Structure 1
Amino acid sequence: MTDFNWTQLQNGSDIRGVALKGIVNEPVNLTAERVTLLGKAFGTWLSQQLDQPTDRLIVAVGRDSRLSGEALSAAVTTGLTSLGIQVYDVAIASTPAMFMSTITEGFDCDGAIMLTASHLPFNRNGLKFFTKKGGLDKPDIKAILALAAANEFEAIATPGNVTERDLMAVYAEQLVKTIREGVNAKTNFEQPLKGLKIVVDAGNGSGGFYVDRVLQPLGADTTGSQFLEPDGMFPNHIPNPENETAMAAISAAVTANKADFGIIFDTDVDRGAAVDPSGKELNRNRLIALMSVVVLREHPGSTIVTDSITSDGLATFIEQDLGGVHFRYRRGYKNVINQAIALNESGEESWLAIETSGHGAMKENHFLDDGAYLITKLLVEVAKLHEQGKTITDLIATLQEPVESEEFRFKITESDFKTYGLGVIEKLKDFAAQQENWQIVPKNREGIRVSCKSSGQDGWFLLRLSLHDPVMPLNVESNVKGGVEKINSQLLEFLQKYEDLTIGEFGKV
């Protein structure tokens, strides 16, 4: 263990690694032995943060449907109990529910650990950590990994107990209450979703609970729901609201069953998306627009924080149609959430932080990125609109959407990729400033965003440096057919000069 590079397991504010054999050139690095040490490290870190002895701490441990989940859950529990920590084993759970275990009466845990690797392949797994303050940040993960690497833990004479608890029943009841009180139906308060057909696609992850523990008690007809059973091989599609196959699957389920609403979750339910009765996807900019309607109705004039790649039409919708403020920030859901928290601390009211990936967090829900909670807020609207003979898409009828949208990812071959990438961005600023009908967008907080105003382009592009990898993503959108190609052709004149930037198919525009 002494020669293992623990830092390779850090993935921003999470820990992730390869837990199972089965994919070529992906050796296992997240072993049960290492996860046991990570349990000890988190317990020790938590003890230091709270200034409490480890044998007075309670930690909840949950997992998603991954094949390695049960073994790694047992391993991290072994690490925790060796320090005398009492463990609540909640079995298969959602990531948001794990945080709720720290602030929910009857649980009131000092910390929580979720074994998950979101939508990554079956061989991966990871750990997400929570305290009563929320999810841990990058410096916290770094400190925990340092403790694991040092491996200087003292076992307690009496190990902590392990108790099985049904966290998801308690968490689901909170969602049920939110919908009942939000709809506040005069004729059927207990079952405000009666008369609605709602289908759920859980992608064989942890989200199946939403059918029998949330929707059915509220009276919804859930016929046609699919892939609810946990299966760590994810045999039907990747559980990911950004994945085309996954979204096509829930769209098809909605239309085939003539449903009023469709719901899809990622593996650990911290992200979600929806589908309207026609099968139209309600994710990315549309999901942000819908949530903005809800939030700005409740908190007029407040600020909506999003990531950097949101469309121009969304900004117009938030600011002109809804009267809110749009604050475009950097990619990374923790970045977006932390920025919203910072705005509130500075006196600027912000109730929603949301990324195009589907990560969305609300101030009223502890700024927890919780896919089930976002969907729950939308279901309140679905029920109310159904009584009026309307659908949820009517709320965003004026949202202007691009005619074309593409994303490219350019690999940087230079070893010092960050310096190289930032240099490309600086040079592109000079190039863009010289182009007729191109305008560098002000108040852009990541990479360079350029508005392309010529009649044949009528769009924008954003070139940025990836948060962790030697990659430069390029997003291009246009409001006219053929506009993306025209923007790309003009941009190619600049990009093709950089030999250490692999532009691949982009160079053939």
Structure 2
Amino acid sequence: MRHSFHPSILREYDIRGTVGRTLGPDDARAVGRSFGTVVRRRGGSRVAVGYDGRISSPMLETALVEGITASGVDVVRIGLGPSPMLYFAATPAARALTPEVQGGVHVTGSHNPPDHNGFKMILEGAPFFGAGIIDLGRIADEGAFASGNGRVIEAEAQGNSIIDAYVDCLLGALDGIDKAALERLRIGWDAGNGAAGPVIAALTARMPGHHALLHANVDGHFPNHHPDPSVEKNLTDLRAAVVRGKLDFGLAFDGDGDRIGAVDAQGRILWADHLLAIYAQDVLQTLPQATIIADVKASSTLFERIAELGGRPLMWKTGHAPIKSKMKEIGAPLAGEMSGHMFFADRYFGYDDALYAAMRLIAATVRSETTLGAMRDVLPQRVATPELRFAVDEARKFAAVDEVARTLAAEGIGFNATDGVRVDTSEGWWLLRASNTQDMLVVRAESTTAEGLSRLLAEVDARLAAVGLSRE
């Protein structure tokens, strides 16, 4: 039987929609059947499936599993957890619990609103995105599904715990770190009522030091704040807890545990490019001259800092799948993007895992023998906007960016077209790009002064007005 997806849900690097409007169990079943078909075409026979803490996730996971098994592919169910735990389940490190798994699908709405949900996929150790997702839509539209009777295997049925194995792996990031120094640390952890909460509780129970957990119970209504640590207001509870509790720093996570945020002892936010600079300093100690990737939204100070430390900075497209693919292509040990996705391929698997990133941040601060705030202050202070997002019709967002690019080219103004348009000026830079996960355009700008930043934003607004759009 053929199935047509709502055209808005097949995104560049995942599948995502609004439950009850553009996404439902029939779609989940078709995703499973199509993905299973691709797995079989590549000679595979088994995948792992997990889901996050959203209210709709169990329903969608059930339908997804039905679709995969109907294609003749076995499913290893790992249950509720963060997306990185699903990725971990598909690695050789988890083979005792998930034998012969060729890939995986996680049901998750990530950082999106509570009524959104979707699917992230990996296959043969690589992200499944772009042309792969288009192919899923084609298979479903044509009804070209493989058929069979796959089995369902519960990963916990043998009495072994995926969470325990995952936590064991995460703790490996602290190997060789001075235990006495770890004992002195006081850290806050805000799970945002997302799927990472149970793993954080299990992880911190086995770690030295004092750990204050916030919103660690899973609740798909997200009653305390929205789980997106790249948005300042979502860090209010963590900032207050760190200052009130005299903690060394605080860590925050998104709904499916693949984005990290952080604040220092004063409650100051460390944005993702601050964090990536700290990680770069740590990684380049053992891998000098390594290439380190950051997305087009990152500060110019980050790229300068990587070069200053002896590394090779590379600007690349925003998105967890493009970043992971580029890392694998060139053998980069570290990458990150402004949304809070951090990727480690030195001593880890190269995918975005905020919990592992948290452990590496702890290790980096101990190795540096200084505070997180002091490491932040090494970077030159620039004035920058956060990500400024505004709604634009799905059919319009990419076209608008293309129109701005054509105008810039016609005027002889140079720009970086890696992902959208990033324009350097004597006062800083500005960026305009289309979101791949939402019906939005994204603007970011950075300058050495507040006045310069205002002028950059005025230029962006003028460019938008010329194509009939406004950020208001």
User: What TM-score do you get using the length of structure 1 for normalisation?
Assistant: 0.83
User: Where in structure 2 are the equivalents of 1:355-504 lying within 5 Å?
Assistant: 355-364=337-346, 365-385=348-368, 388=369, 390-405=370-385, 408=388, 418-419=398-399, 421-431=401-411, 433=413, 440=414, 445-453=418-426, 458-467=427-436, 472-489=441-458, 496=465, 498=466, 500-504=467-471
User: Aligned partners of 1:246, 1:147: CA distance in 2, in Å?
Assistant: 39
Letter in 2 for 1:48: R
Give, as a single letter, the amino acid of the residue that structure 1 aligns with 2:194: G
CA deviation digits over 1:204-244, x for unaligned, max 9? Answer: 11111343322221223223x11101101111111111122
Corresponding letter in the other structure for 1:178: A
> Which position in structure 1 is the counterpart of 2:172?
177
CA separation of 1:193 and 1:335: change in aligned 2, threshold 3 A: same
Q: Tell whether the 8 Å contact from 2:198 to 2:217 is kept in structure 1 after alignment.
A: no
Q: Which whole-Å CA distance do the structure 2 matches of 1:358 and 1:238 have between them? A: 15
Instruction: Give 3-state SS (helix, strand or coil) of 1:218's partner.
Output: coil
Tell me whether 1:295 sits opposite 2:283 in the alignment: yes
Structure with higher RCO (Cα < 8 A, 6+ apart): 2
Instruction: Write the mapping of 1:268-307 to structure 2, written as runs, cut at 5 A.
Output: 268-307=256-295
Whether the 8 Å CA contact 1:409–1:503 is kept in 2: the answer is no
Structure 2 residue identity aligned to 1:339: K
8 Å contact kept, 1:80–1:160? no
- Superposed counterparts of 1:149-164, under 5 Å: 149-153=141-145, 156=148, 160-164=151-155
Cα 1:200/1:484, change in 2 over 3 Å: same
Q: In structure 1, what is the equivalent of residue 194 of structure 2? A: 205
Give how far 1:341 is off: 2.8
Q: Which amino acid aligns with 1:304?
A: I
Partner of 1:37: 30
Q: Deviations over 1:235-259 (max 9, x none)?
A: 1111111122212221112112111
Amino acid at match of 1:423: E
Partner Cα separation in structure 1 for residue 287 and residue 378 of structure 2 = 20
Instruction: Provide the residue aligned with 2:162 in structure 1.
Output: 167
Q: Distance in 1 between matches of 2:9 and 2:394?
A: 23
Deviation string for 1:437-482 (max 9, x for gaps)? xxx46x66344433333xxxx3222334555777654322221232
Counterpart of 1:379, as a letter, is: I
Q: Does structure 1 conserve the Cα–Cα contact (< 8 Å) formed by 2:35 and 2:136?
A: yes
Local SS of the residue matching 1:503: coil
Question: Superposition RMSD on alpha carbons, in Å?
Answer: 2.8
Residue 264 of structure 1 deviates from its aligned partner by 0.8
Aligned pair partner of 2:320 in 333, 336, 355: 333
Distance 1:97 1:410, change over 3 A: closer
Instruction: Give the conservation status (yes or no) of the 8 Å contact 1:329–1:444.
Output: no
Residue identity over aligned pairs, in percent, reads: 26
Q: What does the per-residue CA deviation read over 1:123-142, in whole Å, with 9 as the maximum and x for residues that have no partner?
A: 11111122232221212122
State the SS of the aligned residue for 1:460: strand
Partner amino acid for 2:469? Answer: T
1:110 is aligned to 102
8 A contact 1:408–1:473 mirrored in 2? yes
What's the counterpart of residue 222 of structure 2?
A: 234
- Whole-angstrom distance in 2 between the partners of 1:213 and 1:468: 31
The alignment of Structure 1 onto Structure 2 pairs a total of residues equal to: 463
Give the superposition deviation at 1:334.
2.3
- Aligned pairs for 1:44-123 within 5 A: 44-50=37-43, 52=44, 57-103=45-91, 104-106=94-96, 107-108=98-99, 109-123=101-115
Q: Deviations over 1:311-333 (max 9, x none)?
A: 2222222212x122221222223
Distance 1:160 1:362, change over 3 A: same
Report if the CA contact (8 A) 2:278-2:364 is conserved: no
**5+ residue gaps in structure 1?**
21-26, 345-349, 434-439
Structure 2 Cα separation of the partners of residues 13 and 80 of structure 1: 20
Question: Could you tell me which residue of structure 2 aligns to residue 24 of structure 1?
Answer: none
The answer to which of 81-90 and 201-210 deviates more is 81-90
Shift of 1:409: 5.3
Q: Report the residue type matching 2:17 in the other structure.
A: G
Q: Say if 1:128 and 1:448 are closer, same or farther in 2 by CA, change over 3 A.
A: closer
**Aligned counterpart, 1:259:** 247
- Structure 1 position 218 matched with structure 2 position 207: yes
Q: Secondary structure at the match of 1:10?
A: coil
Aligned-partner Cα distance in 2 for 1:177–1:495: 48
Distance in 1 of aligned mates of 2:260 and 2:207: 19
1:419/1:375 Cα in 2 relative to 1: closer, same or farther (>3 Å)?
same
Which residue does the alignment assign to 1:127? 119
Q: Which residue of 1 aligns with 2:129?
A: 137
Question: 237-246 vs 401-410, which deviates more?
Answer: 401-410
Between 1:273-282 and 1:260-269, the stretch displaced more is: 273-282
Does the Cα contact within 8 Å between 2:295 and 2:317 map onto a contact in 1? yes
Does structure 2 retain, via aligned residues, the 8 Å contact 1:241–1:283? no
Q: What SS does the aligned partner of 2:114 have?
A: coil
CA distance in 1, matches of 2:289, 2:74: 45
Amino acid at match of 1:369: D
| Contact persistence 1:429–1:448 (CA under 8 A) | no
Whichever of the two has the greater Rg, that structure is 1
Q: CA deviation at 1:152?
A: 4.9
User: What one-letter code is carried by the residue in structure 1 that aligns with 2:108?
Assistant: T
Question: 1:255 touches 1:278 (CA, 8 Å); kept in 2?
Answer: yes
